[in-house]
Structure formats: structure tokens, C-alpha cells
Amino acid sequence: MTYNLRDVKILLVEDNKGMLDLIKTVLQSFGVGSVITALDGKNGFDEFCKSNPDLVITDWLMTPCDGLELASKIRTDPASPNRFVPIILMTGFSEKRRVINARDEGITEFLVKPFNTRDLYRRLYKIIEAPRQFIESETFFGPDRRRRRADEYKGSLKRDSDDVKEGQSGKTSNIEDIVILPDDVEFR
């Protein structure tokens, strides 16, 4: 499927100038109207606050501020203009623990280097066609980490309170997840 992306503004944060230019050219070939660039996470956050883009694509390993630190600032810093912005993290590391770490920092999509244009377009497609709700708890804010949703759960009980009889109260948790729908934020 082809999208009209001319009104989309993307912040691209990559410390390798050659890679930055290449990805910027690819995004422009997709029809993205505006690609703002930064060479590290610190400057990336400054640009993010200035331009309030529709999407952030960032490399993981950068100094003085890496992609995960940038994601954390976007999700939690009071100066952030849009905590709900989708974030694609690019990295050469694909070990499961690293993917989980990135997911737990509020990354929306993970893109392993080297990647091709189709891989990048697929991440954009996922963000447009299957946006994820946001979750907020005492220890996390970001896109729902569950990718698959069963229409009706058919397994064993999920929590102790599931088998509480009607009218009784079950165990309560100190952490209550709140689903937040960004009604004023949209990816065009």
C-alpha cells in the first residue's frame, strides 16, 4: 500500500553522517514531506522539542546521549511536546535481551541494521495501520508492549483475583495500568 506522506514530519537521529544522509534520502523517496536531522540524542531532543515531529527514527548507540536515553526523555521529560510520538529504534544489535530492553524504554518499533528500504517501509506501515495504545504505570510509559491480542482469553487464570466470587474483593495491586489513547495525536 502506498501512502501520502507529504504532510508527515520525521525526526531522524543518527551519528553516522553517511547513514543519516542515506536514510533521509530513502524517507524522501517515500514522499515524506519533512525530515529533520540530528547527529546525537541530545541534539535530537532539542530538535524534537522545537519541531514536534510525527515520528522519531533514532540510532541506538550514540554519544553523549544514545537512542534509548532519547526515547526516555521523549516519554518522561516535562519539556517533551508529545510523549505519544512513535519511535523507531535502529541498531545492529538483535539479541532478545536488547529488544526487550528497548521495548521497556518505550520504543514503538525495532529496526535491525543492516536493513533495506522495504524493512523501513514496513515499520512505517505498522505505525500507520496498527497504532498501539499507550500504557502508563508507576514504572512504565509507552506503547503497549503486547503485540498480539486474543479476542477471548481461553487459558488458565491470569491473576489471583480472577477466581474471586462475585461481591468479594480480590488482591489489589500497587501498580494500576492506565490505557491512554492519544486523541490529539495522529500519524498522518
pLDDT in tens, 122-174: 999 999 988 888 888 888 887 876 655 555 556 565 555 555 444 444 433 33
pLDDT at 18: 95
pLDDT at 180: 40
Instruction: Express as a percent the part of the chain with pLDDT over 90.
Output: 53
* Residue 60, C-beta contacts closer than 8 angstroms, at least 6 positions apart: 66, 67, 68, 89, 90, 91, 93, 102
Distance CA(92)–CA(40), nearest Å, equals: 17
Q: What pTM was computed for the model? A: 0.76
Q: Using 50, 70 and 90 to split pLDDT, how confident is the model at 6?
A: very high
pLDDT at 159: 56
Is residue 110 over pLDDT 50? Answer: yes
pLDDT at 158: 56
Cβ(10)–Cβ(55) below 8 Å: yes
Q: Using 50, 70 and 90 to split pLDDT, how confident is the model at 183?
A: very low
Domains located in the chain, CATH noted:
9-132 (3.40.50.2300)
pLDDT at 168: 43
Distance CA(177)–CA(186), nearest Å, equals: 22
Mean pLDDT over 71-76 rounds to 94
Mean pLDDT of the chain: 81
Q: Using 50, 70 and 90 to split pLDDT, how confident is the model at 97?
A: confident
Long-range contacts at 121-129 (CB < 8 A, ≥ 24 apart): 121/30, 123/88, 124/3, 124/5, 124/30, 124/55, 125/1, 127/55, 127/86, 127/88, 127/187, 128/3, 128/187, 129/1
